[in-house]
């Protein structure tokens, strides 16, 4: 189980001490979210916010054990949790032999983002997404850019009182066409995300998520019934990489991707390319071949630029040339929609027709400058693109 004694004193002091150091970097790189910006954006609205726990909900995914213990069945960690203790994610607690989510309806932040920030490049371009996150995560990625909330317990954060009904009503009121569970791993607030998805079906709003894909098959299959699109971080393509940098494993993520595709959920993949960690081109080629063979050559893939964060401040930003090499490798094996992220203005942000090669969507950061699709089809040759376009 993840030890809470680390917690957050060192991380918080480092974060506050580095705010000034990184403020210019954050302001110049629109594709890197700022925790301070997220919180200030949320506080512009008059939602009740208070420190600590607001409400709980019984988890549907656990097995009772002897002596009031339980085994969590939500994610592949399958934590065995004694009475009064919590699982690895720190947001699920065994109370007298029953397992409860402590973050249901109390997000630590919400914000209105362009859908391109998730990043979704094949979902409702230029639309807004009502984005939420709670405290907690079932990974501890050494490069996490939102570690101040992902590695926190919910009682250590100031949280909004926002039941699912209020999230959906707020999304409609603000003109958002989707609700995104994002910023931290949304599996840890699964019940919240699921209930929002049920309501979005009635409201005519998309339910989307940005996830590490670390979830068991039974809850995933149920979620797919109320999920429209998922952007999955395929963080590397070896088990050693996952163990050493995320405290997770690779194979469940691959199974998640195949299940999402099989259930008809729109899937996009993000691969954060980190110097010396997962930037080997042979490994990237193997990953791209797997995507082509198991998910389809029309699966959008985003190679994203790494910037020094959290426990990997000793590494340099990813050279743009490395991202360009990775993109060429992906295109050479036959993937049709390959993007470069966190490099605003690069041609790798654009969508091109794989059939006639014409520019279809031109982007700079999160801005759409040109869109030459008619519905989901190329204006020039009529080729149909995967995604949710209207």
Predicted TM-score (pTM) of the model is 0.88
Residues of the chain with CATH 3.20.20.70: 9-52+104-344
Show the DSSP H helices in the chain as ranges.
9-28, 35-43, 147-150, 164-173, 190-203, 217-224, 239-245, 251-262, 281-290, 320-332
**What is the distance between the alpha carbons of residues 216 and 62, in angstroms, rounded to a whole number?**
12
Q: Using one digit for the tens of pLDDT, what is the confidence trace for 292-309?
A: 999 999 999 999 999 999
Q: Tens digit of pLDDT for each residue in 19-45?
A: 333 332 333 333 333 333 444 444 445
For residue 47, what pLDDT is reported? Answer: 72
How far apart are alpha carbons 5 and 33 in whole angstroms? 27
Q: What is the mean pLDDT of the chain?
A: 90
Contact 192, 182 (CB under 8 A): no
CATH T-level fold of 9-52+104-344:
TIM Barrel (3.20.20)
CB-based contacts of 264, cutoff 8 Å, min separation 6: 224
Give the model confidence (pLDDT) of 50-65 as tens digits.
Answer: 887 888 999 999 999 9
Q: What's the CA gap between 314 and 293, in Å, rounded?
A: 36
pLDDT at position 193 over 90: yes
CB 44 within 8 A of CB 151: no
Beta carbons of 234 and 287 less than 8 angstroms apart = yes
**Per-residue burial over 92-129, b = 16 or more CB atoms within 10 Å of its CB, e = otherwise:** bbbeeeebbbbbbbbbbbbbbbbbbbbbbbbbbbebbb
């Amino acid at each position: 189980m993840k030890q809470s004694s680390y917690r957050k004193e060192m991380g918080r002091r480092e974060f506050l001490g580095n705010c000034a150091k990184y403020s210019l970097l954050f302001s110049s790189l629109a594709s890197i979210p700022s925790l301070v910006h997220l919180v200030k954006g949320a506080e512009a609205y008059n939602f009740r916010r208070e420190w600590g726990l607001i409400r709980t909900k019984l988890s549907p995914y656990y097995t009772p054990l002897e002596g009031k213990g339980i085994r969590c069945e939500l994610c592949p960690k399958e934590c065995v949790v004694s009475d009064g203790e919590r699982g690895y994610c720190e947001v699920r607690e065994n109370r007298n032999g029953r397992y409860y989510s402590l973050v249901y309806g109390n997000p630590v932040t919400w914000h209105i983002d362009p859908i391109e920030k998730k990043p979704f490049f094949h979902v409702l371009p230029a639309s807004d997404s009502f984005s939420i996150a709670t405290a907690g995560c079932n990974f501890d990625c050494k490069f996490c850019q939102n570690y101040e909330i992902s590695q926190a317990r919910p009682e250590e954060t100031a949280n909004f009182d926002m039941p699912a009904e209020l999230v959906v009503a707020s999304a409609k009121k603000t003109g958002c066409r989707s609700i995104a569970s994002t910023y931290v791993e949304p599996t840890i607030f699964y019940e919240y995300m699921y209930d929002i998805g049920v309501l979005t079906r009635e409201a005519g709003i998309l339910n989307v998520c940005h996830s590490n894909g670390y979830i068991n098959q039974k809850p995933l299959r149920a979620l797919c019934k109320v999920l429209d699109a998922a952007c999955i971080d395929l963080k590397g393509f070896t088990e050693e990489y996952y163990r050493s940098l995320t405290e997770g494993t690779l194979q469940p993520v691959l199974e998640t991707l195949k299940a999402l595709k099989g259930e008809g959920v729109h899937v996009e993949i993000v691969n954060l390319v980190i110097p010396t960690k997962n930037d080997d081109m042979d490994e990237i080629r193997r990953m791209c071949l797997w995507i082509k063979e198991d998910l389809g050559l029309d699966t959008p893939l985003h190679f994203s630029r790494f910037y020094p964060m959290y426990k990997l401040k000793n590494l340099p930003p990813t050279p743009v040339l490395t991202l360009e090499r990775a993109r060429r490798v992906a295109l050479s094996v036959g993937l049709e929609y390959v993007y470069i992220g966190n490099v605003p203005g690069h041609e790798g942000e654009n969508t091109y027709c794989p059939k006639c090669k014409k520019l279809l969507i031109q982007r700079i950061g999160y801005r759409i400058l040109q869109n030459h699709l008619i519905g989901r089809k190329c204006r020039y040759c009529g080729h149909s693109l995967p995604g949710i376009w209207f």
